[in-house]
């Protein structure tokens, strides 16, 4: 009967340890998810910055097509859109709420190629190299880009990224502390067994082995449960918020769940290692005080 009660108590402690670890890993996984999602948001905002390649009026159709093909094959070009003189004039007149016939007889608007660059190229240094390269084409009148907005964006995004990473690092520290406390309380009830094994001459590695094995399975099961719950939450957000769905990629989901699995295994193993060592080093008299 005593053995049965002990087994039930041990199972209960293991279950509670798994639940506590799962909740902590969900907290950490949520932080990792939003940090990686913020990275996608940064790239999305950068890639929305337009670069206008103004074309000369006399450009032949053959040269226009050649320029399109040349730019389309550039590594920095994500999207490209051709806007004719008439389309450009119509957009301007509509934005000014004016009738084109009331403004001017001749259309002064130049045709243009509107480029969207990949996020990593949307910074002052890259664009200052890209613009002169494009201007070398004889049919390009000018290259216009919002350099002030780009500079402000590149100043703001690193600050926001640093704040998010700091929060994630703080949560990682809190996660380690909570899991360490959970594992230590789980091993606390068996401190006399550890001490008895040490007295009969068992090696520390031999004593640690069953605790490390148990910690591995606790970490694996907890991380799996956390990933299932996080996956449900991520799916729900993607179904209810179209903007999150646009930013959400397989890389974000895989990185989040992979990080939770790695953290679950590494942290539980480390915490079990340090907790067992704590009781292995403890003197006999101190076992009744800790």
Tens of pLDDT along 56-76?
888 888 888 888 888 888 888
Report which DSSP code applies to 240.
H
Q: What is the mean pLDDT of residues 176-190?
A: 75
Phi, psi of 177 (to 5 degrees): -65, -40
3-state secondary structure of 106: coil
Please list the residue range(s) of the chain that carry CATH number 3.30.70.3040: 50-145
Q: What is the mean pLDDT of residues 272-283?
A: 77
The predicted model scores a pTM of 0.67
pLDDT of 78-117, one tens digit each? 888 888 877 777 776 666 666 655 555 566 678 888 888 8
Q: What is the mean pLDDT of residues 36-50?
A: 79
Using the predicted structure, report yes or no on whether residue 7 has a pLDDT greater than 60. no
* Correct CATH for 50-145 of 3.40.50.300, 3.40.640.10, 3.40.710.10, 3.30.70.3040: 3.30.70.3040
Using the predicted structure, report yes or no on whether residue 9 has a pLDDT greater than 50. no
Q: What is the pLDDT of residue 135?
A: 87
pLDDT band for 4, please (50, 70, 90 cuts). very low
pLDDT band for 261, please (50, 70, 90 cuts). very high
Token readout for 62 is 């053959």
Using the predicted structure, report yes or no on whether residue 267 has a pLDDT greater than 80. yes
Q: What is the pLDDT of residue 195?
A: 72
Rounded to an integer, what distance in angstroms lies between the CA atom of residue 149 and that of residue 59? 31
**Residues 6+ away with beta carbon under 8 Å from 207:** 194, 197, 198, 276, 280
- What's the Cα-to-Cα distance from 181 to each of 76, 202, 248, rounded to whole Å? 49, 26, 34
Token readout for 187 is 């091993």
Token readout for 274 is 């340090």
Phi, psi of 78 (to 5 degrees): -95, -50
Contacts 24+ apart (CB under 8 A), 73-81: 75/118, 76/117, 76/118, 76/121, 76/126, 76/130, 77/115, 77/116, 77/117, 77/118, 78/47, 78/116, 78/117, 78/118, 79/47, 79/115, 79/116, 80/113, 80/114, 80/115, 80/116, 81/113, 81/114
Q: What is the DSSP string of 2-44?
A: HHHHHHHHHHHHHHHHHHHHHHHHHHHHHHHHHHHHHHHHHHH
Rounded to an integer, what distance in angstroms lies between the CA atom of residue 208 and that of residue 201? 14
**Is the CB of residue 290 less than 8 Å from the CB of residue 190?**
no
Mean pLDDT of the chain: 79
pLDDT of 191-233, one tens digit each? 777 777 777 777 877 878 888 888 899 889 999 999 999 999 9
Q: What is the pLDDT of residue 48?
A: 77
Q: What is the mean pLDDT of residues 266-281?
A: 82
């Amino acid at each position: 009967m005593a053995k049965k009660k002990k087994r039930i108590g041990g199972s209960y402690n293991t279950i509670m340890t798994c639940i506590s670890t799962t909740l902590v890993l969900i907290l950490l996984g949520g932080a990792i998810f939003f940090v990686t999602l913020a990275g996608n948001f940064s790239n999305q905002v950068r890639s929305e910055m337009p670069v206008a390649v103004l074309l000369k009026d006399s450009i032949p159709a053959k040269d226009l097509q050649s320029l399109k093909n040349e730019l389309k094959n550039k590594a920095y070009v994500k999207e490209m859109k051709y806007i004719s003189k008439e389309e450009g004039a119509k957009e301007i007149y509509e934005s000014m709420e004016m009738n084109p016939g009331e403004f001017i007889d001749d259309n002064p608007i130049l045709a243009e190629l509107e480029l969207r660059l990949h996020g990593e190229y949307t910074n002052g240094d890259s664009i200052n190299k890209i613009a002169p390269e494009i201007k070398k084409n004889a049919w390009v009148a000018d290259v216009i880009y919002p350099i002030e907005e780009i500079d402000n964006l590149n100043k703001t995004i690193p600050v926001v990224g640093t704040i998010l990473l700091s929060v994630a690092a703080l949560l990682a520290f809190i996660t380690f502390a909570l899991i360490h406390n959970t594992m230590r309380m789980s091993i606390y009830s068996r401190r006399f067994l550890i001490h008895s094994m040490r007295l009969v001459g068992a090696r520390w590695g031999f004593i640690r082995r069953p605790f490390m094995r148990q910690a591995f399975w606790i970490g694996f099961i907890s991380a799996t449960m956390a990933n299932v719950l996080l996956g449900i939450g991520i799916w729900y957000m993607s179904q209810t918020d179209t903007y999150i769905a646009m930013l959400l990629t397989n890389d974000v989901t895989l990185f989040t769940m992979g990080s939770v699995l790695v953290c679950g295994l590494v942290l539980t193993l480390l915490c079990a290692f340090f907790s067992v060592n704590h009781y292995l080093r403890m003197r006999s008299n101190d076992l009744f005080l800790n």
